[in-house]
């Protein structure tokens, strides 16, 4: 146990002096007729009277201790290791194609990604959109509302014409740069696209995979559609310890995110115990002393004359 304000503890000298005086003081003796008789001295009764007279000093000591702010170490807890997950979503024109009768490919991907973010509360999420170029819309943050609100504006129809292509390797290098700015925690990219990437040719997929793996960044690829051009993304996912998925409907998309959740598990580490207030025993002792003192006032005291 410790105290927030140990400087106040010197005030405990006051109740000690008060209690000592209560036991040694003689008071103002008054000679009564029976004082010269053969009655006993009443030492036992005097002891309890002195003890009762010391209860106010006990109350003062309790007040001083509570003023000093007693505290104790809190029970140890496990701290969640932060996962920094960057959602990298394709906004090329082909993502506007209807998908499974529930909107477009982009809308289905966004809905599943939002549900994934809500389920993984406690992790940091960022949003990057890409086509021929990439744009970091939201850096990794625990404020999930920032990612959710951004989803309303980053639509393929709102993108300029020069974003119409699909360059996945270029987008992954941009995600790597973004995640390297994060000081702590695990790093992962969930990339959602619907097409093949020209910059995966001539060993481009292996090159970007080696860069990401060297920095401990896992890639989970989600390819919407028939899976054409999946080879490059599959190479990157496997090399970084992630996995690539091909989905043909929105239900399968939800299942993919559940699988990613199982693979990118939340980890915990023991945290240093903090100090918490510890007033309970002193409050109980003070209430008990106050109750006893109130009872002693009914008769266990020296007469006032």
Instruction: Give 245 or 157, the one with higher predicted confidence.
Output: 245
Per-residue pLDDT tens digits for 249-286: 777 877 888 888 887 765 555 555 577 888 899 999 99
> Residue 32: pLDDT above 80?
no
Tell me the average pLDDT across 226-235: 77
72 SS3 class: strand
Q: What is the pLDDT of residue 177?
A: 93
- Cα(190)–Cα(87) distance, rounded to whole angstroms? 5
What local confidence, expressed as pLDDT, does residue 212 receive?
A: 94
Q: Tens of pLDDT along 109-164? A: 888 888 888 878 778 899 999 988 999 989 988 888 888 888 778 888 888 877 87
Q: pLDDT at residue 39 above 60? A: no
Q: What is the dihedral of CA 186, 155, 245, 139, to 10 degrees?
A: -10
- How buried is 75 (Cβ within 10 angstroms: 0-12 exposed, 13-18 middle, 19+ buried)? exposed
> How far does CA 297 lie from the centroid of its chain?
52
Give pLDDT, residue 87: 92
CA 177/CA 163 separation, integer angstroms: 20
Share of the chain above pLDDT 90, in %: 20
Per DSSP, the residues of 228-250 read: TT-HHHHHHHHHTT-EEEEESSH
Model confidence at 93, pLDDT cuts 50, 70, 90, reads confident
Give this prediction's pTM: 0.62
| pLDDT tens for each residue of 72-85 | 877 655 555 668 88
- For the chain, give percent helix, strand, coil, nearest 5: 50, 20, 30
Dist. CA 43–CA 46, nearest whole Å: 5
Give whole-number Cα distances, 280 to 3, 19, 63, 67, 75, in Å. Answer: 14, 24, 13, 13, 16
Instruction: Categorize the per-residue pLDDT at 108 as very low, low, confident or very high, splitting at 50, 70 and 90.
Output: confident
């Amino acid at each position: 146990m410790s105290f927030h304000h140990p400087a106040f503890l010197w005030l405990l000298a006051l109740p000690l002096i008060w209690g000592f005086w209560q036991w040694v003081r003689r008071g103002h003796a008054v000679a009564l007729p029976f004082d010269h008789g053969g009655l006993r001295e009443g030492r036992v009764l005097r002891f309890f009277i002195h003890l009762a007279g010391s209860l106010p000093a006990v109350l003062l000591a309790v007040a001083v201790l509570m003023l000093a702010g007693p505290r104790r170490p809190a029970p140890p807890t496990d701290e969640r290791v932060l996962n920094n997950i960057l959602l990298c979503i394709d906004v090329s024109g082909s993502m506007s194609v209807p998908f499974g009768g529930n909107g477009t490919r982009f809308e289905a991907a966004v809905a599943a990604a939002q549900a994934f973010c809500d389920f993984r509360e406690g992790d940091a999420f960022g949003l990057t959109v890409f086509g021929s170029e990439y744009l970091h819309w939201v850096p990794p943050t625990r404020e999930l509302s920032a990612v959710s609100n951004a989803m309303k504006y980053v639509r393929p129809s709102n993108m300029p014409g020069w974003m119409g292509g699909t360059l996945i390797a270029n987008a992954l290098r941009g995600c790597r740069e973004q995640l390297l700015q994060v000081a702590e925690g695990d790093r992962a990219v969930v990339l959602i696209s619907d097409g093949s990437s020209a910059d995966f040719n001539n060993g481009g997929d292996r090159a970007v995979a080696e860069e990401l793996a060297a920095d401990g960044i896992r890639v989970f690829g989600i390819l919407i559609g028939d899976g054409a051009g999946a080879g490059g993304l599959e190479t990157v996912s496997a090399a970084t310890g992630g996995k690539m998925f091909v989905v043909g409907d929105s239900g399968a998309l939800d299942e993919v995110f559940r699988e990613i959740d199982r693979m990118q598990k939340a980890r915990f580490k023991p945290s240093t115990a903090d100090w918490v207030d510890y007033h309970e025993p002193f409050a109980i002792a003070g209430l008990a002393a106050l109750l006893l003192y109130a009872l002693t006032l009914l008769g266990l005291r020296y007469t006032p004359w």
